[in-house]
Amino acid sequence: MNKMENLAYYNGRISLIDEMMIPMNDRVCYFGDGVYEATMVNNHHIFALQDHLDRLYNSAGLVRIQIPYTKEELGQLLKELVLKVDAPEQMLYWQVTRGTAPRNHIFPKGDVKANLWVTIKPMKVKPQDQLLKLTDMEDTRFFHCNIKTLNLMINCMAAEKAEELGCDECVFHRGEVVTECAHSNISIFKDGVFITHPTDHLILPGITRKHMIDICKAHGIPVDETPFTMKQLMEADEILVSSATQLCRRAGSLNGQPVGGKAPELVKLLQDAYMKKFLEETA
């Protein structure tokens, strides 16, 4: 089988990413009307695929998008597509939009089917021992952050702010309460306890965050799913930023001030256990 440098898929059509053409009336173009997922691929094996499928279907249900595949059918399609890309280490991204129809705020009626997009490109997991630089920004997003929608303008603005300041990520907070980051979850260690914002409507229920909680519990580390403040963030023993593409990484500074560095043994335990899980599932 001839393998590709990268891959784009749209409703059955396959091409290189730069060559794929999308109808202008796809509702993503006007409204960002869709939901998405992303995860890493190692040795052509998709990491935590079932978790990501479960979250995709939950997000779609919350915004009333009917995905035209069963979870099993979509999972099998994704497994087949990652085999078509030459690089064994990849980032797999997929999204489902409400369909293609003339611009109208009202959902399209009749037999308009949802559209499936997939992109796959070579990517390696970031080094887990590299410290992150953080900045912060008031969280002005809407109140449905638990749904992984394509409406990410504020997230992009926050990520751009971080980039302009020479930082790696931007921490969102509503008043003094920390929620998450522009494209990651954020958690802390304090006095041996793993503390992370609860999975309410203000944060995305991160798959990596979920796995980190499981690992902590398996190793007897107490877990506290309670909102914490910016002051608690600055005073934390360690700050951990987690996502599907970066896994679990430490922060070393926030707005130019040094943070964390007080519980390296807990961070190493968590990172080592998570990398072991990643490598075993994608062996």
Work out the number of other CB atoms within 10 angstroms of the CB of residue 271: 19
| Candidates 124, 133, 148, 190; catalytic one | 148
DSSP assignment letter at 49: H
Long-range pairs of 243-246 with CB within 8 A, sequence gap ≥ 24: 243/183, 243/184, 243/185, 243/206, 243/208, 244/38, 244/39, 244/40, 244/47, 244/48, 244/52, 244/206, 244/207, 244/208, 245/38, 245/39, 245/40, 245/91, 245/123, 245/125, 245/126, 246/125, 246/126, 246/184
What element of type H or E holds 257?
Answer: strand 257-258
Q: Establish whether 148 is a catalytic residue.
A: yes
Q: Which residues sit opposite 177 in a β-bridge? A: 174, 229
Q: Identify residue 115 by its one-letter amino acid code.
A: N
Residues that are catalytic: 148
